[in-house]
A and B are shown apart, each in its own frame.
Chain A
Amino acid sequence: MIQPAKPDLVTVNIDGKEIAVPKGTNVIEAARQVGVDVPHYCYHPKLSVVGNCRMCLVEMGMPAVDPVSKAPIMDPVTGKQKINWIPRPQIGCATYASQGLHIRTQTPQIKDCREGVTEFLLINHPLDCPICDKAGECMLQEQSTGYGRGYSRFIENKNVKPKRTLLGPRVVLDDERCILCSRCIRFCKEVAKDDVLGFIDRGSYSTLTCYPGKALENNYSLNTVDICPVGALTSTDFRFKMRVWFLKQTNSIDTESSVGANTVVWSREGVIHRITPRRNDEVNDTWMADSGRLLYKAVAAENRLASKETLDALIASAADLLSDAEGAIAVVGSGRSSVEEQFLTRKLADAVKARVFLVARSGAGDGILISSDRNPNVRGALITGLIDKLPSERLDTLAGGIDSGEIKAVISVGEDLVAAGITPEQLGKISIVHLGTHASSTSDAAKVVVPTLTVFEKSGTFINQQFRLQKFAKAVPGKPGMHDDLDALSRLIAALGGASLPSDLHELWDVLTKELPALATTTYRTLPETGLLLDATPWSGLRFPEGETLHFKPTASGEGVKA
């Protein structure tokens, strides 16, 4: 792990630029702050420092002092304190800032060092970039171009090693490409807490391997693919599918639990090809779970709902259906809807004077980046006023209302009622208007189905377990016959006699900031990519289900605070 920031700042000089950094910051990070690139492979800001790639060599010097009197020795030419340069280069990743530290990264010696290290790394590296999945985002490719000598003097035969070892169900190893940086080993040990990888044998025979009989199959294994500085580890899902430079990157949020890991969705021509984590030091560092990377498959799933009718026709028939049941309508909102959708769901419930229910989803938390609350946005429902207490997993009150005849119609916003404990017989007794993305028992039983969009096809915000408001953006367009959730909800509200509300996200945010004091300080446009921490104190009495995860510790009262 990187050294924790200490309050005492020290001044260091990197390539002639002075900067004050917390004591103990390493040279790579300090140089990054003054815009100096120190090339490196094995160093990763979120892993321990091992210093085995030797790429980050820099020249280091300290201000000269008289050995006896400790008085500074001045340089008569410049009039400044003389710098004693260490003749041999030092590795930047394990050199920590101290007062007066001087670093040079652009000297002939350092150029030679980088060329030498690059040459050694390339000796046994197959130059198969044209068929390598990492090409385009490969550190070795970039830094060989930037800091290598540009031609090879190696005329001997290269090592031959296995090209497709399955390390686990999702990760393939190409041994020839591996430069033995050990990032993946350290990740498994330090972050995933599943120490199965290691180097066996030695010298040029060194091979990354799992212990015989074990496999790299933890739910974080694909992070090793992300941090691999070369194409040695590749994802079975993404391997040989698409060139990375063709892909459009869209910032998104992982919806599998209330952790709200920040992600990047990589798409091309309306098709998503992969999801990778996005660095957010307050939420997920640079990691995400494997399970969250497969969620994009839902976009092109066979059971996606699509309608032949126009949205106007659908809303008209929904309004028609609901007008028969006036006063006996219930709204089932969702913890998977965005904040904006939940706000409109509340407005919808107000318009028809309906009781609101929400469905909780829970599962075992893994203590890293999956919490036990599997809804991404239950706190959004609290902030928007959709609910005032925590939801339960089963809609037993609603079931009772249906049985007693109190409730004759249900508007389900993206929830499957059968999964939440309503029996098919009970569904038969009521009229259902269902807004949803995928076919379910509820959409089958519904009289009106409004097909809506998945998180990848729309923009919006979620509020995670830390009460951090985070935004996601539309990565790919929805297919024909699918309708924007905000559009559908605002039209439904209008059709049922409610207030006219904008369906455009930015216009809706103007309403949100006015009506919800908690969101008064921001808008979708101005919300930082790393999110905004909201005030959680109004909800401190609630017992949230989440346990401890990365950067999150629940307090005694059940409320989470930032670790």
Chain B
Amino acid sequence: MNLKPETLARIDEVIPHYATKRSATLPLLHLIQEDVGWISKEAIEWVAAKLELQPINVYEVVTFYPMFRQKPIGRRHIKVCRTLSCALMGGYKTCETFEKEFDTKRGEVSADGEVTVEFVECLASCGTAPVVMIDDELHENVDSAKAKHLCGQIKAEAAQRKT
């Protein structure tokens, strides 16, 4: 497991908050997903060893919650809302624009590893539909033009990081 030192520090800090070590399973998984982006088999076994559990106990938890990702994701996570209000206001078109711009399919990692586009359930901002969340940042009224603009920003950042 290649966790950042600050993640490891937070993990060690969070375990004593609970009466039994087992209870720290969820917070540990969240911390690891925040750091690495997904929960690998290696991560499951690492958490199990850390909390003195068997790997199956952690595996049960990981598969129970859909928000724990069992596959790697791109560097940026683009979540496009697909629920009614956004769908009526062109959420599908927005999602397609993101897919086209990064030449990827929803749910998959783009070829350059830069983004994962996902079509998700309600992001709770129906008044400003269609909405998109890029990592933890909410973008409102994202029509195709704004989607292209956002894609441009991400690409520019990626290009800058590479130089």
Q: Name A residues whose Cβ lies closer than 8 Å to a Cβ of B.
A: 195-202, 210-212, 214
Contact = CB atoms under 8 A, between A and B. Distances in A.
Contacts of B57: 195, 198
B74 interface: no
B40 to A, nearest CB: 12
Contacts of B63: 200-202
Nearest to B45: A211
Closest 10 CB pairs of A and B: A200-B63, A198-B56, A195-B54, A211-B56, A198-B60, A211-B55, A202-B64, A201-B63, A211-B59, A196-B56
A426 B33 CA distance: 71
12 contacts: A195-B56, A198-B56, A198-B57, A198-B59, A200-B63, A201-B63, A202-B63, A211-B55, A211-B59, A212-B41, A212-B59, A214-B55
Contacts of A214: 55-56
A422 to B, nearest CB: 47
Given A195-B57, A198-B56, A211-B55, 18 more contacts: A195-B54, A195-B56, A196-B56, A197-B56, A198-B59, A199-B60, A200-B59, A200-B63, A201-B63, A201-B64, A202-B63, A202-B64, A210-B56, A211-B54, A211-B59, A212-B41, A212-B59, A214-B55
A320 B64 CA distance: 76
- Most chain B beta-carbon neighbours within 10 Å: one of A196, A199, A202, A211: A211
Interface in B43-93: 54-57, 59-60, 63-64
Contacts of A198: 56-57, 59-60
Contacts of B41: 212
A192 to B, nearest CB: 12
- Most chain B beta-carbon neighbours within 10 Å: one of A198, A201, A214: A198
Nearest to A205: B63
What's the dominant secondary structure at chain B's contact region? helix
Nearest to B62: A200
A197 B54 CA distance: 10
A200 B55 CA distance: 12
Contacts of B60: 198-200
Contacts of A202: 63-64
Contacts of A196: 54, 56
A212 B54 CA distance: 12
B44 to A, nearest CB: 8
A176 B64 CA distance: 19
Nearest to B63: A200
Contacts of A201: 63-64
B70 to A, nearest CB: 11
B142 to A, nearest CB: 32
B146 to A, nearest CB: 36
A326 B56 CA distance: 67
A196 B64 CA distance: 17
Nearest to A203: B64
Nearest to A211: B56
A451 B79 CA distance: 78
Nearest to B41: A212
A16 to B, nearest CB: 43
A418 to B, nearest CB: 44
A208 to B, nearest CB: 11
A261 to B, nearest CB: 26
A68 to B, nearest CB: 37
A38 B54 CA distance: 34
B47 to A, nearest CB: 13
Interface string B105-129: 0000000000000000000000000
